Amino acid sequence: MPEPDLKHCIGTDRFAGHVGIELLDVQPGRATARLEITDHHLNGLGRTQGGAVFTLADLAFAAASNSHGIAAMAISVNIFFVKGTSAGAVLTAHAVEISRNSKLATYQVDVLDETGDRVASFQGMVYRKTPAKIPVK
């Protein structure tokens, strides 16, 4: 029986696609995603909108937390915004699993800009639906 095609399943995230986020890599318990900031990611003050940064981190979080083949729902997220960016920045989010049991798992997601500076620190928890395997596509 084949492994779930995780990258395909998470890759069909339409909202992330609408925002312009690319999922670069998924491994068990970790994932990386990327977003180039353009004008339509900016807020009313000309800076990258927090929701765009959050959504980038959230896609890496979703990919990492679903990487074991058990459907995982985000239940709690904390994000610190530590450096502002604007159009032209290239942001990368790296998600790593920091704990996991049968029902709950937690992830650290670091968002960096193209110079390697940290833009945001995101910490998320998921609830894992025990029987519901992600369907194999």
Site residues (vs its own copies, CB under 8 A):
9-19, 39-45, 47-52, 54-55, 58-59, 62, 71, 73-84, 98-99, 101, 103-104, 106, 108, 118, 121, 123, 125, 127, 134
91 or 134: CB nearest its own copies: 134
48 or 92: CB nearest its own copies: 48
Cα 87-107-58 angle, rounded to 5 deg: 35
Rounded Cα distance, 92 and 33, in Å:
6
Residue 115 in 3-state DSSP? coil
Nearest approach, Cβ of residue 47 and its own copies (Å):
8
27 or 43: CB nearest its own copies: 43
Question: Buried (b) or exposed (e) across 77-106, using 16+ Cβ within 10 A?
Answer: bebebeeebeeebebbbbbebeebeeeebb
Nearest approach, Cβ of residue 110 and its own copies (Å):
8
Phi, psi (5° rounding) for residue 116? Answer: 90, 0
Nearest approach, Cβ of residue 60 and its own copies (Å):
11
